[in-house]
Amino acid sequence: MSASNKPGPSESVFVQLHINDLRTTDSPALSLAHSQGKKHITHFLPIYVFDERILPLDCIPGFSASRQTKDVQGKTSIDKAEKETEEDAEEEEIKPLGQEDKPSRTTTNQPATKDRDHRSTGRVGPRSRLGNFWRVGRHRAKFLVETVFDLKKTYESKGGGLIIACGKPEDVAVKVVESLVKSGKKVEGVWTQKEVTTEEVTLLRHLRHGLERSGVELHLVDSKPMINPSDLPFKIEDIPGVFTSFRKLVEALGDDMVRDPLPEVKKVKPLPQRPASLSKDVFILSGELLIMDAILRYILAPLIAEPQFGDDLEARPIPQTEEEWKTYTIPPLDPRSAHPFIGGETSGVARLDDYLGTLTGGKHGKGEGGSKAMSYKDTRNGMVGEAFSTKFSGWLANGSLSGRYIGWRVRQLQDRLREEGKLDKHVAGNVYWISFELLWRDFFFWTCERFSHEPSYTAKKNNQRKNKGQPSGEALPGEAGTASSLFNLGGWKEVLRPAESQKTLGDWKGFNLDDPKDPIRRLMEGNTGIPFLDACMRELAITGFMSNRGRQNVASFWGTDLYVDWRVGAEIFETHLIDFDVCSNWGNWQYQAGVGNDPRSYRQFNQIKQANDYDPDGEYVLTWIPELGQVDRRFVHTPWLISDAEKKRCGLGTPGGYPSSPLLVQPQWKKHYPSNRAPPKPKNDNKQNKNKGPHQNGKA
């Protein structure tokens, strides 16, 4: 939008608020705005807002000052709207983020020592509720900024543009709409992606309330899952509680399971002229701040000044002068990273081409490549290198790739391989498995939706108390509510089958992150003395990624060996993971903690067996724990078993060195100790390449 006050009498503006749908390919709102039915739309206005509730934005020049000015000037209409909706939210027990001391995510349940109350670091900025971690760590923040700027570039290359702002997305969108309406433009409506979890739904409700004041409607686009929601053979309330039953029902849709993506929009309608008054109310990026590297530095500096547990990055103070900012650089990605993650649709599509083959070229003119996908199932449980598993998750998480588009690309590859006579049973199984795994993503999304319609046991009780038995909340029919049991210590089981859960709430332990010996702190720092787990946690903090195998083992150890409040684990994953997705992360954590959708309510991974199976020659562990370099390879997963003299020779147990004894040992680990097994097999002849059962690949 270029700044101007000139009215545009026949201008009709279609607004899209991007949140977790940062793409132009297979984007329902973009397609609708450019459809025949919307010919009267003259301008397309996409907006992205860096959310101050999850990102530290105070270093961005002018941003803090703009907030203060607003405070001095008094409250705007959106503030009033917020106040009213705050009151609504209060009824539902969950207040919006940033407007309360106790953040909103967790609805209820006790344990978890509140680290927020214990640590006296004086830290400020957007923090998690229990562990006081950054809401978004440095890897995801970088990936996000890259994604947003890639989106802007793509829109511009198609004739459009993207407004990038800072603040609260709902607040910014409402103010933009108000100013457009005031300047005489017609606003067709605001489109954004449907979400189903607490903070996200609260945001959408605020947005809807705020827009009502301008008489503009909010439209939710249900574009997150791979399967089109209207194709589901059941109502969301009836989604099976177990993945396999869900999978069988949706697989019965056959070729119709995944629809074709929407046709590409080649030419995008222009941005409307920006009402001059708008920049007073909204902090829109302009000038130097529209250079990606500049904004990246300002957002990352606080995160780099305080690296989170496990990150080996040397803390660097936040620059204080312009000169210091000029020379400030972002640390490069660690070369050991499982993938050179770069945010944005462009790099996401490049990864699709690399993994699933291209759509054009090749002998048959229908594309070429795809060999990685042809051995996907065989290799997805790998731990080292970029070729094991697809690494699509980061792009899926912020919506720079859609699930449907990936599902469709899988089908394109299947069709081509069939035509080329290469789709034998083994290859077909491998390629299909990508869609299979994507179904897990859909499953967690809809399970979250189901439970967001259904208030948790405690929320229900509280609401009944407050409303004297009257149901509260004001969700529109079919719309998700805000009271979800996703964040409850008792998980969905609190609602589902409490009797089946082997733990009671009182069994969960708290933690004290001030204490370097605290088990959870040692785990987060990759310093438990159990190499497989330590390697996973170090990789996560240093690169923002951890394999699915690693995630399962860490979560299982956290929840079933240490018995520490699993939500703190979900929080530290949320901080570090490039691919953090609220439903997948919290849903999987519940699953591993035995309070979620796992039909076996008490699943405990045998850490030594897992290490032997998935890292037989210790390559993964040695990548992340070079301190074990001198240890006899046979004991690389159990270094505590070597003699004291050997420990000394290898430098174990020295101050600041790798621990010489493990945090704990489980009796069932012993039968997998080195003396009881054959010497390690050579590389590439390991269990990573064996096909076992779904997802968990057989017994833990």
Residues that bind ligand FAD (CB under 6 A): 380, 389-393, 396-397, 434, 437-438, 440-441, 444, 547-548, 551-552, 555, 573, 577, 579-581, 584-585, 588-589, 592
Minimum CB separation from ligand FAD for residue 543, in Å?
12
Nearest 5°: phi and psi at 439?
A: -65, -30
Q: CB-wise, 94 or 383, nearer to ligand FAD?
A: 383
The single-letter code of the amino acid at 15 is: V
What is the distance between the alpha carbons of residues 133 and 127, in angstroms, rounded to a whole number?
5
Phi and psi of 191, rounded to 5°?
Answer: -110, 140
Q: Which helix (H) or strand (E) holds 355?
A: helix 345-356
Q: How far is the CB of 548 from ligand FAD (least distance, A)?
A: 3
Write out the two tokens for 360.
């054009």
Residue 248 CB neighbour total at 10 angstroms: 10
Provide CB contacts within 8 A for 191, sequence distance 6+.
Answer: 14, 15, 16, 17, 28, 29, 32, 33, 219, 220, 221
- Amino acid identity at 261: P
**Of the two residues 158 and 372, which places its CB atom closer to ligand FAD in the complex?**
372
Q: How far is the CB of 603 from ligand FAD (least distance, A)?
A: 11
What kind and span of H or E run contains 218?
Answer: strand 218-221
Distance CA 107, CA 329 (A): 40
CB-nearer residue toward ligand FAD: 463 or 597 = 597
Nearer CB in complex with ligand FAD: 208/391? 391
278-300 in b/e form (b: 16+ CB < 10 A) is: beebbbbbeeebeeeebbbbbbb
Alpha helix (H) ranges present in 365-518? 371-374, 376-379, 393-397, 403-419, 425-453, 457-466
Per the document, the length of the chain is 700
Shortest Å distance, C-beta 436 to ligand FAD: 8
d(C-alpha 537, C-alpha 545), whole Å: 9
Distance, CA of 384 to CA of 535 (rounded, Å):
11
Q: CB nearer to ligand FAD: give 358 or 588.
A: 588
In the block, which residue shows the tokens 């944005």? 344
> Which CB, 268 or 448, lies closer to ligand FAD?
448
Q: Are 89 and 310 in contact (CB under 8 A)?
A: no
Q: Which of 170, 138, 143 is nearest to 49 (CA)?
A: 170
8, 48, 160 from 15: Cα distances, Å: 16, 11, 12
Minimum distance from CB of 309 to ligand FAD (Å)? 16
Residue (391 or 411) nearer to ligand FAD, CB: 391
Residue 393 or 463: the one with the smaller Cβ distance to ligand FAD is 393
Q: Name beta bridge partners: 190.
A: 15, 218
**111 neighbors 504 (Cβ within 8 angstroms):** no
> Which lies closer to ligand FAD via its Cβ, residue 132 or residue 588?
588
For the bound state, the minimum distance from the C-beta of residue 615 to ligand FAD, rounded and expressed in Å, comes to 16
Q: Could you tell me the smallest distance in angstroms from the CB atom of residue 296 to ligand FAD?
A: 22
Report yes or no: 357 and 373 within 8 Å, Cβ to Cβ: yes
CB of 408 to ligand FAD, least distance (A): 14
Distance, CA of 289 to chain centre: 26
Q: Which is nearer to ligand FAD, 131 or 674 (CB)?
A: 131
DSSP state of 231: G
- Compare residues 388 and 669 and give the one whose CB is closer to ligand FAD: 388
Strand partners of residue 14: 44, 189
CB of residue 226 to ligand FAD, shortest distance in Å? 9
Euclidean distance between CA atoms 229 and 247, whole angstroms: 14
Compute the least distance from the CB of residue 571 to ligand FAD, in Å.
Answer: 12
Read off the tokens for 609: 């067996």
Q: Toward ligand FAD, which CB reaches closer, 584 or 660?
A: 584
- Select 63 or 446, whichever has its Cβ closest to ligand FAD: 446
Work out how close the CB of 84 gets to ligand FAD at its nearest, in angstroms, rounded to a whole number. 33
Q: Give strand pairing partners of 283.
A: 166
Residue 344 CB, shortest distance to ligand FAD, in Å, is 16
Would you say 183 or 560 has its CB closer to ligand FAD? 560
Q: In terms of DSSP bridges, do strands 186-193 and 12-18 run parallel, antiparallel, or are they unpaired?
A: parallel
The sheet carrying 43-51 orders its strands as: 218-221, 186-193, 12-18, 43-51, 163-167, 283-284
Cβ proximity to ligand FAD, 12 vs 20, nearer residue: 20
Nearer to ligand FAD, 187 or 356 (CB): 356
Query: Residue 669 Cβ, how far from ligand FAD at the closest point, in Å?
Result: 21
- Shortest distance, position 491 Cβ to ligand FAD, whole Å: 13
DSSP string covering 555-617, please?
A: HHIIIIIS-B-HHHHHHHHHHH-TT--HHHHHHHHHHHHTSSS-SSS-----HHHHHHHHSTT
CB of 378 to ligand FAD, least distance (A): 12
Rounded least distance, CB 583 to ligand FAD, Å = 8
Minimal distance, residue 579 CB to ligand FAD, in Å: 4
Q: Distance (Å, rounded) from C-alpha 415 to C-alpha 542? A: 39
At a CB cut-off of 8 Å and minimum separation 6, what does 651 contact?
627, 630, 657, 658
Q: In this complex, which beta carbon is closest to ligand FAD, that of residue 345 or of residue 579?
A: 579
